Amino acid sequence: MKIQRIIFILIFCVGLSSSTVAQVNSTDLDSTNIDSTVLQPVGFSDGDLSTGNDTTKESFKVRPWEFHAPLASYLAETDSTLRWQSWPDWTYKLSRDPGVIPYRMGTSLRSNAVQRFAHEPRHQQLYWEGIPMNDPVSGAVNWERIPEHKIGAFYNQDLGTQYRSTYYLKQYYLSKPLSRLIYSESKFSHRNLKFEVSHNLSRRTNVQLSYWDRRTGGEYPNSEVTGRQIFAKVSHHLSENQYLKLNFVNNNFDVGRPFGYSTQDLRLFPFDRFTAVANEPSAKSQEQANTLALTYYQRSADSTEVTDNLHAGIYYKKNARSLNSSTDSTSYAVKSAGIMGKKWWRIGGLSLQASANYQQFFNQTKVNGSLPADDWSLLDTEGRVTLDFTPIIDFKGGVNFKYRSDGFQSYRVNMSSDISVGPLTITPGVSSGTVMPTIQQLYWNSASYQGNPSLKEEKIQEGHAMASLSLGPSAKVGLRAQHKDIIDGLAIVDSSFVNISNYASQSAAVFFEWDPTHFEFDGSVNLHRFTNSLLNSKTSIAMDPAKRVWLKGSAYWKGYMFDRATYVKVGASGMISPFRYQADHYQPQLNIWQPVSNDQRLPFFTNVDIDISARVRSIIFELSWENVFDDVSQLGYFETAQYPMSSRRFIFGVRALFRN
């Protein structure tokens, strides 16, 4: 009955809107940010804040602020590509991308992770503009904390030794207050409610405030997760070419930690929520992350240039985590203060980027906590360059150096090139560098695990190549391969962090994309494996060498319906893992993933999701059926050993935008 009522409401709203203002079938309008509006050409003058009389002001044309992309990165997502679907957390979005093998634990908002090409979870970085968002103790990326409904642009960079993602949030240019309501619901404990308001205090100043209540899990014992995200922003145009922004974000999560579910053989797991037995029936973790940042932006006085070329700011962060279980209780709390700056130059075909980031960390862990380390500081410097040699060849390169006050340091040198010959583009690249041990790997102290101050930096040699062939304005096929040699890799063995024997991480992906006017098709064949290092091929490796193979594909139709009153996108996305393999292992006490473990290999599995979204004026309805063939072709499946994925479920969501 609930589903029938929801569908009836959707049809009613669509029918009601069919007699109202129609939408124009334009590609440009389809990609317009419906959450941002510029209603009148306005500008900045000295009297904007003092006269209070709009009728006496001369109107000027506003140049909306554009944030400079990281040099040599590529734009992976925008609001236009993200608006048609909501994701339980960001790993669900990444799981559909070529070259990605996800490690999810069946419940969103957990510490899910992904393998990105040859890059393991510990070799991935996440930045909010110029602020590093990795955990300062474990180095983990907490994908569940990304404010996905606010993203304006999401960039990716393969740096060779590591893989970096950077996101920017949407900007608002308003003449009236704006409000957004986002809600989604499914069975068990899955609920999401987000409310946001934005208001211009003046022509120069905008204020945003949002609250995001998040709940999920409940299908299996001790799997419930509750959380919230509070976000506030004040942005102020100092002048036409200077911009100031104050951001605050608070994340809090209470997470049930079952430590997996007991089974002697993953192939015989019953996928029955009433008979499943959690290894830890009452273990819980509490996690908190706060970020407060004041950032200054500047762009050229050239009236034709809308993209900035200078970012500088100061920020404060707090990260805390505690876990209570029958075998080990761990906790830490770290505060930090940082200063960052980033500058871009362009001289003809030469583009340069220089950046520096300094952080001072203050260990606030209690005496009985798990991090008996002194305060420390970290300096991170980077330079990048791109050069257009000819219309055929482009060169990209970068260098990075980090120094930490406990004496550890790391570096990276990487270079690549884009060689374009007609519709064919070939991108080879190489890199070399080191990765310093994390604070956790060096100084951790708990009942189950111990740090090791004698660890050495990881040494990485990497090479990759990609070839893509354009088959027209809306289609392309491609192949990407990558090899990473890791010397003195870092992992937990028994109960201590150690440098393990040399090994290599290899990946390959074949992909295609076809995006005609009313359809979207894409697919990929993805392979990853651990193997012997090229530098020492006779040494056995510590991880399972079995190949990880994922086949992915999706097909969607999009277009106007009901006399152009609504824009609809409907289709399906699926994957097959045809061979058994060993996924990375999750350590709840440490909140990290690693490939070295005794976990069982995962059984063969498939998954298909059906998605429907419909925009009716300023309201978007979302209907999703996840894992639709659950209990049909299989009882269930795993992406991480002992953590069953969610059974078939229907998710209803709505996003409403109010301008008033």
The answer for residues whose C-beta is within 8 angstroms of residue 478's C-beta and 6 or more apart is 466, 467, 468, 469, 510, 511, 512
DSSP state of 604: P
What Å distances lie between residue 255 and 3, 213, 321, 371, CA to CA? 29, 14, 11, 21
Residue 536: its pLDDT value, please? 74
Q: Which of 275, 228, 243, 208 is nearest to 44 (CA)?
A: 243
- Examine residue 56 and state whether it is found in any structural domain, yes or no: no
Q: How far apart are CA 620 and CA 656, in angstroms?
A: 6
Q: Which residue has the higher pLDDT, 124 or 86?
A: 124
What Å distances lie between residue 150 and 135, 170, 171, 172, CA to CA? 21, 6, 9, 11
Band of pLDDT at residue 7, cut at 50, 70 and 90: very low
- Examine residue 196 and state whether it is found in any structural domain, yes or no: yes
Residue 175: its pLDDT value, please? 76
Secondary structure of 1-41 in the HEC alphabet? Answer: CHHHHHHHHHHHHHHHHCCCCCCCCCHHHHCCCCCCCCCCC
Separation of CA 333 from chain center: 24
Per-residue tokens: 197: 């308001």
Mean pLDDT of 415-438: 96
Q: How far apart are CA 420 and CA 588, in angstroms?
A: 46
- DSSP states of 498-563: EEPPPEEEEEEEEEEEE--TTEEEEEEEEEEEEE-BTTBTTSPPSS----EEEEEEEEEEEEEETT
Q: Which of 39, 41, 44, 38 is nearest to 203 (CA)?
A: 44
Residue 61: its pLDDT value, please? 59
Asked whether residue 2 carries a pLDDT value surpassing 60, the answer given is no
DSSP state of 407: S
Q: Which domain holds residue 101?
A: 74-659
Residue 59: its pLDDT value, please? 52
Mean pLDDT of 409-438: 97
Q: Is 489 helix (H, G, I), strand (E, B) or coil?
A: coil
Secondary structure of 51-93 in the HEC alphabet? Answer: CCCHHHCCCCCCCCCECCCCCCCEEEEEHHHHCCCCCCCHHHH
- Examine residue 18 and state whether it is found in any structural domain, yes or no: no
Band of pLDDT at residue 84, cut at 50, 70 and 90: confident
Band of pLDDT at residue 13, cut at 50, 70 and 90: very low
- Examine residue 62 and state whether it is found in any structural domain, yes or no: no
Q: Which residue has the tokens 């070399």?
A: 432
Q: How far apart are CA 117 and CA 164, in angstroms?
A: 12
Residue 174: its pLDDT value, please? 78
- Examine residue 181 and state whether it is found in any structural domain, yes or no: yes
Residue 258: its pLDDT value, please? 96
Give the range among 81-85, 375-379, 436-440, 453-457 with minimum mean pLDDT.
81-85
Q: How far apart are CA 636 and CA 630, in angstroms?
A: 6
CATH of the domain at 279: 2.40.170.20
Residue 599: its pLDDT value, please? 96
Phi, psi of 52, rounded to the nearest 5 degrees: 70, 10
Separation of CA 544 from chain center: 27
The tally of domains found in the chain comes to 1
Residue 538: its pLDDT value, please? 72
Extended strands (E) in 275-349: 284-299, 308-324, 330-347
- Examine residue 522 and state whether it is found in any structural domain, yes or no: yes
Mean pLDDT of 210-218: 95
Q: How far apart are CA 103 and CA 114, in angstroms?
A: 5
Band of pLDDT at residue 516, cut at 50, 70 and 90: very high
Q: How far apart are CA 363 and CA 393, in angstroms?
A: 48
Q: Which of 226, 247, 222, 221 is nearest to 235 (CA)?
A: 247
Q: Which residue has the higher pLDDT, 175 or 336?
A: 336
Mean pLDDT of 250-269: 96
Asked whether residue 19 carries a pLDDT value surpassing 70, the answer given is no
- DSSP states of 334-345: EEEEEEEEEEEE
Residue 633: its pLDDT value, please? 85
Per-residue tokens: 342: 């980033």
Q: Is 48 helix (H, G, I), strand (E, B) or coil?
A: coil
Q: Which residue has the higher pLDDT, 216 or 60?
A: 216
Give the strand pairing for 548-561 and 566-577: antiparallel
Q: Which of 211, 126, 119 is nearest to 167 (CA)?
A: 126
pLDDT above 70 covers what percent of the chain? 90
- Examine residue 229 and state whether it is found in any structural domain, yes or no: yes
Mean pLDDT of the chain: 90
- Examine residue 36 and state whether it is found in any structural domain, yes or no: no
Residue 50: its pLDDT value, please? 40
464-484 pLDDT tens trace = 999 999 999 899 999 999 999
Band of pLDDT at residue 372, cut at 50, 70 and 90: very high
Residue 522: its pLDDT value, please? 96
337-352 pLDDT tens trace = 999 999 999 998 999 9
Give the strand pairing for 131-132 and 376-388: unpaired
The pTM of the full predicted model, rounded to 2 decimals, is 0.90
Q: How far apart are CA 376 and CA 167, in angstroms?
A: 27
Q: Is 320 helix (H, G, I), strand (E, B) or coil?
A: strand
The answer for residues whose C-beta is within 8 angstroms of residue 315's C-beta and 6 or more apart is 131, 291, 292, 293, 294, 295, 337, 338, 339, 340
554-605 pLDDT tens trace = 999 999 999 899 999 999 999 999 999 999 999 999 999 999 999 999 999 9
How many CB atoms are located within 10 Å of the residue 201 CB? 11
